Amino acid sequence: MKWTLVFVFAALTTAFAVHAQSQAGARPYKVVFDLTTDDQADQTAVLRWLREVAAASPGSEMEVVMYARGIGLVMPERSSKIEEVKQAIGSPHVSFKVCEIAMKNQNVAKSQLLPNVMTVPDGIGEIVSKQTQGWGYIKVVAR
């Protein structure tokens, strides 16, 4: 009887430890993705990463900051990924932000962007701001 109790206690302790470790790896975090190209592989990668992070770590905050040619991802007339972007925008912990400097340089009006895409005065400044707030940083390069 004594050994049975010891065995049961050891099994429960091990199960609890394994469960705690698996939960620790799934803790939500905050990450900003830096997209500067209109390369299809890069666009596909960032959209895949958004889905994968959301699945692996629900509640994680994710932001895609686009400047230079990256802004094409959220422009219906330029992007072949619009349906995937719309789906990502509908996620509660995902945001897409476009640099207003890039918009000005490319003569892009806010009305040319998908609804619910936000703009920021300076894309690089947005990324730096997120990093100073403790956000992780990922440069989108799929190659």
- Residues 25-82: pLDDT tens digits? 578 999 999 999 999 999 999 999 999 999 999 999 999 999 999 999 999 999 999 9
Answer whether residue 22 is part of any domain.
no
Q: What is the pLDDT of residue 110?
A: 97
| pLDDT score of 142 | 84
**At residue 7, does pLDDT exceed 50?**
no
Given this model, what pLDDT does residue 1 score? 55
- 2 within domain boundaries: no
* Residue 132 belongs to a domain: yes
119 falls within a domain: yes
Phi, psi angles (nearest 5°) of residue 61 = -90, 130
- Position 2 scores a pLDDT of 55
**pTM of the complete model:** 0.81
Structural domains counted in the chain:
1
Q: Which residue has the higher pLDDT, 4 or 60?
A: 60
Q: Is residue 98 part of a domain?
A: yes
* CA gap 6, 127 in Å, rounded: 53
User: pLDDT by residue (tens digit) across 101-133?
Assistant: 999 999 999 999 999 999 999 999 999 999 999
How many angstroms separate the CA atoms of 101 and 54, rounded?
30
